[in-house]
Structure 1
Amino acid sequence: MNGCSQRAVAADVVFDGEKRHDDFAVVIEDTRIAALTPRSDLPSSIEVYNVPQGAWLAPGFIDTQVNGGGDVLFNADPTPAALAKIAQAHRKFGVTSLLPTLITDSDEAMAAALDAVSAVMAREPGILGIHLEGPFLSPEKPGVHRREFIRRPQVHHRKMLQSFRGGVLLVTLAPEEAPDGFIAELVAAGAKVSLGHSMATYEQTRAAMAEGLTGFTHLFNAMRPLSAREPGPVAAALESPDASYGLIVDGEHVAPAMLGLAMRGVGRPMLVSDAMPPVGGTKAEFDLLGRRITVGDGSCRTQEGALAGSSIEMASAVRNCVRLLGLPLERALRCASCHPADFLGLGRSLGRLAPGYRADMAAFDPKDISVSAAWVAGDRSDYCPRA
């Protein structure tokens, strides 16, 4: 297509992020959405792509926690080429943008990851920035992060993070391990800060939120649990309308009853995959910073049986919200698109189908959320034969 030519994508149902429109079309101009209109009102001269009969068209999914995909682990290969492979592996599951996630590693790996993201963003619009999950975590809640790499931030870390200009910077940390004012410094520099791998008390969590912390990384997992006399981070997240909390809805990380509780919180629940290399790949094993991880029965585990990220992808997470939790499909879709866009500060350009927004969309069968096509900045990839 010519750079400014218009084309349309039509579907039996278009869900714009707030409401559904029957027999509608999304008009695209260049990389952005120009209009939403009834299919019958499209001019005869416009090129129309009709998604399969019965399929829905919705905002593309946004995953803020992606460790890998397509048999690639970001920690093991922090390069632009690896990032392109990871993004492509997730696109077939409706993910049109993501934050590649580097778990706790050396300073050299952090610098390489930041440089790779900065280098790739101009040609990979699906890469929104980077998520540094660590290294400023609690040694009491390491999960599969290497304990010897967990550390407190130093002056050179501050300079490294505050100088990053490659899109969104999301930092997961344990606030009780951070120096006074560190969270406020990151927020002032434009970063998003999330609590994770933490033993913070309720009071420490509220203090961190007062400094600008707004996120909670894989809520319930690797953090002080909710209890009668110490509400901890979970209560702080669920009671705050300004909080956004990631949920791994794979049936392994969190029990459905607890996920249901989170969905009833007043904050913004977000679906995340915490995906490892097997998502969109072919291998049943991979190396995670010196530990062998095996994939089986819907999970990734160490030889000792501990969970190590996940093998779920966002389309399955949406499906599980409907089947396991009984959520309306529309709400599940918002948890995969609108909510993460708002958390990242991108809610005026991503996460919805509306004029002026980037043309990031996914077409899928509403019965099983199998994706047939996805668009990133108006560019389409097909994943199954058209009906």
Structure 2
Amino acid sequence: MLIGVAKLWQQGLLHDQMGIVAQNGTIMEIRPLDHDTPDHIVPLALPYLTDLQVNGGGGVMINSDPTPDGFRTVAAAHRRQGTGTILPTVITDSPDVIARAADAAIRTKGEPGLAGLHIEGPHIAPDRRGTHDAAHIRPLDLATVTLVEDLRAKDLPVMITLAPELAAPDLFARLVACGAVVAGGHSAATSDETKAALGRGLSCFTHLYNAMPPMTSRMPGILGAALNSDAYAGIIVDGIHVDWDMVRVALRARPRAGLTFAVSDAMATVGGPDHFTLYGQRIAVRDGALVNAEGSLAGAHINLVQSLRNLVTHVGLTLDMAIPMVSDIPRKVMGLPANDIAIGTAVDDMLCLRDDFSMMDIT
């Protein structure tokens, strides 16, 4: 079978008019298409995407079902929508729920699509909690640090989102020392506090703009410090959490390309029903947004393929600028091996998209 690919993302570059020869479901050759007549024509082919902030999918929330089967259900729902690797994300909750999520991450280590664990909270600023349950917010403690150290000792990638201004320096240092990706988020840190944390090993920021104080001319805060830093930063690109113009501002403000990536912040409704329960509250899709009983945004109802489309069609990025934000950059953040289309790769592991970014099945 010869697959003609108008644009192929391979080894960090966008190649035009390529031919992929496949046999028995495996890629045997990749070469210029030249004048050959393909069996299938694909407008865009790239590896399945990587999402570092996935709270749920397929009707399941990680917090509500912090088990291996819960992780697998969420990963499968996102795989069906074009995301091949997720970092299951457990948000602010009781120590028991977070410990169970850590155990699930250990028990699913190495399984396709599951890359480790993102612990978002509970060590966040109460006034920047968003939909996180205030009853479970607490200062960074030895229990969480020990749990993260255990995950890292088992060679599991871990991201932990916290408010750096509220973290005890000695415990913060242990998170950095064990190799966790320590991210600033749900924080009211000043610019100086954020810069100090960057100097101590803060290496990422969680959903730029959201759950952060607005940046002003005299108070840049955590947002201003994040934009000016060399740290990685995630951003939600659904047009609801962040206005398209503000996405453009963020990208242009960064000191260089390759630092900002898209996250879905997806909840159980992605690939599932239009509502779910979190902390005993009903959360539902309303005009494309997920809102809780208080009317606050409660995660996002979007996947990464839709985010890629938005980066191109609404933000105005070229494909070679947008694709790394949903593939290469998030993998670098977590130290994951490169995900590429190569000889020996299964055809099923090649994400094929039409011009409108809808998925194609060529098998």
Is TM > 0.5 for Structure 1 vs Structure 2? yes
1:28 and 1:99 map into 2 onto residues whose CA distance is 32
- 1:101 aligns to 2:89 (yes or no): yes
Structure 2 residue aligned with 1:194: 183
1:222 and 1:258 map into 2 onto residues whose CA distance is 15
Give the C-alpha shift of residue 302 in structure 1.
1.1
Equivalent residue runs for 1:20-39 within 5 Å: 20-25=15-20, 36-38=30-32
Structure 2 residue aligned with 1:323: 313
Which stretch of the first structure deviates more once superposed, 354-363 or 180-189? 354-363
- Alpha carbons of structure 1 residues 58 and 107: separation in structure 2 relative to 1, 3 Å: same
Q: Name the aligned partner's letter for residue 104 of structure 1.
A: T
Q: Name the aligned partner's letter for residue 269 of structure 2.
A: P
Structure 2 residue aligned with 1:182: 171
Q: Name the aligned partner's letter for residue 305 of structure 2.
A: A
SS of the aligned residue for 2:90 comes to strand
Contact 1:350/1:357 (<8 A) preserved: no
Give the C-alpha shift of residue 361 in structure 1.
3.4
Give the C-alpha shift of residue 178 in structure 1.
0.2
| Overall identity of the aligned pairs, in % | 39
TM-score w.r.t. length of structure 1: 0.85
Contact 1:15/1:58 (<8 A) preserved: yes
Structure 1 residue aligned with 2:213: 224
- Alpha carbons of structure 1 residues 194 and 52: separation in structure 2 relative to 1, 3 Å: farther
Contact 1:70/1:279 (<8 A) preserved: yes
1:66 and 1:246 map into 2 onto residues whose CA distance is 12
Contact 1:322/1:328 (<8 A) preserved: yes
SS of the aligned residue for 1:75 comes to coil
Gaps of 5+ in 2: none
Structure 2 residue aligned with 1:154: 141
Structure 1 residue aligned with 2:260: 269
Give the C-alpha shift of residue 340 in structure 1.
0.7
1:361 and 1:195 map into 2 onto residues whose CA distance is 33
Which stretch of the first structure deviates more once superposed, 89-98 or 15-24? 15-24
- Alpha carbons of structure 1 residues 51 and 106: separation in structure 2 relative to 1, 3 Å: farther
Structure 1 residue aligned with 2:303: 313
2:255 and 2:218 map into 1 onto residues whose CA distance is 21
1:118 and 1:298 map into 2 onto residues whose CA distance is 34
- 1:134 aligns to 2:121 (yes or no): yes
- 1:335 aligns to 2:325 (yes or no): yes
- Alpha carbons of structure 1 residues 186 and 70: separation in structure 2 relative to 1, 3 Å: same
Q: Name the aligned partner's letter for residue 183 of structure 1.
A: F
Gaps of 5+ in 1: 1-6, 43-49, 373-383
CA RMSD of aligned residues (A): 2.7
Contact 2:304/2:326 (<8 A) preserved: yes
Give the C-alpha shift of residue 214 in structure 1.
1.2
- Alpha carbons of structure 1 residues 258 and 155: separation in structure 2 relative to 1, 3 Å: same
Q: Deviations over 1:306-355 (max 9, x none)?
A: 10001011111111111211111221111101111111122xx2244468
Which stretch of the first structure deviates more once superposed, 191-200 or 163-172? 163-172
Greater share of helix: 2
Aligned residues: 355
1:266 and 1:26 map into 2 onto residues whose CA distance is 40
Contact 2:3/2:41 (<8 A) preserved: no
1:51 and 1:343 map into 2 onto residues whose CA distance is 37
- Alpha carbons of structure 1 residues 52 and 253: separation in structure 2 relative to 1, 3 Å: farther
Q: Deviations over 1:163-195 (max 9, x none)?
A: 112621000000001001333311210100111
- 1:298 aligns to 2:293 (yes or no): no
2:136 and 2:83 map into 1 onto residues whose CA distance is 30
Structure 2 residue aligned with 1:114: 102
Contact 1:117/1:166 (<8 A) preserved: no
1:29 and 1:353 map into 2 onto residues whose CA distance is 16
